[in-house]
Amino acid sequence: MKKLIYVDNQKNVIGKPLRKIRKKQKVTQLDLAARMQVLGVNIDQQAISNIENNRRIVTDYELACFCKALRCTEQELLEDFLGKLRDEE
């Protein structure tokens, strides 16, 4: 299996915004995991922690479900990443 190498060892681009939105809404990692499980995503608190600390990749399906679970937009979760892309232009 080919190992993927990411820029600065970052596994995803939503970790920091996910934590920021979750904390702003006063939702614990455990509560978010429960919300995700209701949406059919098999994820636990440890996986949420790994995502927020950029140690785990995020699938497109998970991204969409995080948005639904936190009632936010994809734009909000991708804001930091998209801002960096604009700065590079």
* Confidence (pTM): 0.87
Does the residue 33 lie in any domain? yes
Decide if pLDDT at 18 tops 60.
Answer: yes
Q: How many CB atoms are closer than 10 A to CB 22?
A: 20
Residue-range definition of the domain harbouring residue 49: 10-88
What is the 8-class DSSP label of residue 8? G
Give the CATH number, domain containing residue 66.
Answer: 1.10.260.40
Q: What is the pLDDT of residue 6?
A: 62
1 or 72, greater pLDDT: 72
- Domain assignment present for residue 36? The answer is yes
Asked if residue 21 belongs to a domain, the reply is yes
Distance separating alpha carbons of residues 73 and 68, to the nearest angstrom: 8
Is there a domain that residue 3 lies in? no
Number of domains in the chain: 1
d(CA 36, CA 66): 7
Q: Are 23 and 70 contacting, i.e. CB atoms less than 8 angstroms apart? A: no
pLDDT at 5: 58
